[in-house]
Structure 1
Amino acid sequence: MSFKIDRGLFKYDFIDHHAILCVPVDADVKEIRKRYLQIARRLHPDSNLTESAAQKQLGNELLSKLVNPAYEKLFGDRTRPEYIIILSQIGKRLVQESTSVTLNTDLARQLADAPAPNLDHFYKSAIAKLAQSQYDSLEQALQVIGQVSELNLVYLMRSASKSSTAPPPPAQPKVQSDTPQPNTAKNTPLASAPAPAPPKEDSVIEQYVRRAQSLIDKNQFAQAKVELQDALKLEPKNSRCHSLIAMVYLKQNQLKMAKIHFDNALKLDPNDEPALQWKPKIDKALGQQHSDHKVTSSPNNKDKQPDKSGSGGLFGGLFGGKKK
């Protein structure tokens, strides 16, 4: 069975994995995993002993063809960042094409008209409400997914418009039914306003970076990481943010996460100095860690334990600790 959804982001040849799991587009991995487990328990054939064979088959197909791939994409450390970047780009593109956007659900139109201060609350409340019954009726599941995707579409457009200093776009979805001239006029500057976007976006990101740097200077790494994660949600392709959050992970001795973000920084800016300085050292340290693991797990070294005295771990070694 093929599952075709023609609403929301799906209309733009994009698989909206957030809509399939019914989680907000800024959901973290814990929220994604929790939601996935809820859906998996609902759809797995062994969990629904009282349902008919046809219902079990439909649930199993929804799980294997939609839900599992969505979870793998959103939960993977390598696949999720790229997916989030694409989401952000789609939001910005749709702002420019706002006059062609049509909405089919009242919830999406209400979100489009919601006052800016209430946007996040309305959006996440609507998502949470739909999640409660998303897979109650398997025959209606695709319709609910399309409804969630429309909410995601509107939220991405509103967020992209806000970050680019364009006027709030509540009038966008009105194109769906009646397209009065004033609404079209409001949307016209939206399509011709990319010029002022970079300065404003940079200034917002700069505020996050300054706060994060101040927290790093105070060794408050957890708070600094939150600031930088929020910055990357607004601008996923900011090499400076990737480089700085990599330093935070490095100072927390989370070398694998540091490597991921240094890699992202170098992809976006091959001349990023911190990434150029630290990535080779991290690669070497991770290689040594792998080598040490192989040595200590060898049958001839069962009684040997790695010598940690005075090294300060990999972090201590990278920042000038004693080398063994």
Structure 2
Amino acid sequence: MKPDQGLFQFDFDDHHAVLGVPITADAKAVRKRYLAIARKLHPDSLSGATATQAQQASDVLSKLVNPAYEALSQEKSSTEHALVLKLKGQSLRQTGTAPPVTSALAQDLLKAAHIDAAYRQAVSGLAERQFDQLEVVSKVMGELSELNLVYLYRSSASDRTSSSQPARQTQARPNTPTTTASPLPRQNQAAILDSYINRAQEYEQNKDYSRAILELREAVKTYPHNGACHSYLAMLYFKAGQSTMARIHAKRALEINPNDERASQIQARVDKASGGSTTGSAKPSTAKGANPKTSDPKSSDRGGGFFGLFGGKKK
């Protein structure tokens, strides 16, 4: 068997599955796990291995582990990865049906009473033996990817239930005091949102799209269901030459408000710039703030994107 045969059977853009860490892992946990894997696959740790096994270890480290760690350790790519995970969870929630999974662990996780604890335990168990047999490393990563898929589905559904619960309690018992913190008044929310947008507009006028994008990303974190924020962020990404992210936010804006004219225009411009291809990219901007290296949409489009990566095994 050649070193790479049997190793790469699913979409390895699921960086958490490659490293064997939960999708909730912080930067410190990701680094700790990466260093442990690097030591395990280092030639000095493989003194009794055959030449074929040593080559397999080298391939796994250089072609899978290192790129995954790089993606999760860099702030920009990690933030964008987290955003796509969130959108994936929302997409799963909207389907209303459980994702199809094949591994016993993933099927058990679908029924687990305490999703967070069960998910962490399942990931930890697989991670312990993930790199023991390199011939089946893709199988283990595929199982991890299915666990990620189920967790996104279950946690998104839980978020939706918990967010609607206070409203139901208020309707059922209108005179009962509550200890739940009151949301900000609408005028305060509007003022905070305006501050983000105003700063972004100032940066945009100076063609400093990177900083404008940062402002809008913070706005989207605070107000994830504001379609205008998503459509404005889509426009900024397009101006910065990042068509993949422009497409993601334009799509989200249209999900919130199908009549969002700006989002429709951005979506059409992205499609036109890419020649109608869903994996194409707009011509990168050379304006201030559009780093040619970080603005390359190919870095986000590798391997078919995130929306088809979880739980799928390529044969």
TM-score by length of 1: 0.50
Q: Per-residue deviation at 1:262?
A: 3.7
Residue 125 (structure 1) aligned with residue 121 (structure 2): yes
Q: Which residues in structure 2 correspond to 1:298-317 (within 5 Å)?
A: none
The one-character-per-residue Cα deviations of 1:52-83 (angstroms, maximum 9, x if unpaired) are: 11001001101111100000001111110100
Residue 112 (structure 1) aligned with residue 110 (structure 2): yes
Q: Which 4+ runs in 1 deviate beyond 6 A?
A: 269-272
Partner of 2:130: 134
Aligned 8 A contact 1:36 1:67 in 2: yes
Distance 1:100 1:107, change over 3 A: closer
SS at match of 1:165: helix
The residue identity in structure 2 corresponding to 1:77 is E
Distance 1:28 1:259, change over 3 A: farther
**Alignment partners' CA distance in 1, 2:66 and 2:26:** 17
Distance 1:209 1:43, change over 3 A: farther
Aligned 8 A contact 1:45 1:57 in 2: no
**Alignment partners' CA distance in 2, 1:98 and 1:58:** 41
Q: Which residues in structure 2 correspond to 1:48-197 (within 5 Å)?
A: 48-97=46-95, 99=97, 101-115=99-113, 118-165=114-161
**Higher helix proportion (structure 1 or 2):** 1
Partner of 2:45: 47
Residue 5 (structure 1) aligned with residue 9 (structure 2): yes
Distance 1:90 1:208, change over 3 A: farther
Q: Per-residue deviation at 1:102?
A: 1.4
The one-character-per-residue Cα deviations of 1:264-300 (angstroms, maximum 9, x if unpaired) are: 336847999xxxxxxxxxxxxxxxxxxxxxxxxxxxx
Partner of 1:215: none
Partner of 1:220: none
Deviates more, 1:93-102 or 1:31-40: 93-102
TM-score by length of 2: 0.52
SS at match of 1:139: helix
Partner of 1:303: none
Partner of 1:19: 17
Distance 1:139 1:208, change over 3 A: farther
Length, aligned pairs only: 187
Distance 1:60 1:162, change over 3 A: same
**Alignment partners' CA distance in 2, 1:155 and 1:163:** 12
The residue identity in structure 2 corresponding to 1:4 is F
> Could you tell me the percent identity over the aligned residues?
38
Q: Which gives a bigger RCO, structure 1 or 2 (Cα 8 Å, sep 6+)?
A: 2
Identify the match of residue 38 of structure 1 among 36, 44, 52. 36
The one-character-per-residue Cα deviations of 1:148-192 (angstroms, maximum 9, x if unpaired) are: 1111000000111122239xxxxxxxxxxxxxxxxxxxxxxxxxx
Distance 1:98 1:16, change over 3 A: farther
Q: Which residues in structure 2 correspond to 1:212-291 (within 5 Å)?
A: 262=215, 264-265=217-218, 268=229
Distance 1:83 1:119, change over 3 A: same
**Alignment partners' CA distance in 1, 2:20 and 2:53:** 21
Aligned 8 A contact 2:126 2:144 in 1: yes
Partner of 1:214: none
Distance 1:59 1:156, change over 3 A: same
Distance 1:16 1:63, change over 3 A: same
Aligned 8 A contact 2:98 2:153 in 1: no
The residue identity in structure 2 corresponding to 1:29 is A
**RMSD across aligned C-alpha pairs, in angstroms?**
3.6
Q: Per-residue deviation at 1:99?
A: 4.1
Aligned 8 A contact 2:56 2:134 in 1: yes
**Alignment partners' CA distance in 1, 2:118 and 2:124:** 10
Q: Per-residue deviation at 1:101?
A: 2.8
**Alignment partners' CA distance in 1, 2:145 and 2:97:** 18
Partner of 1:175: none
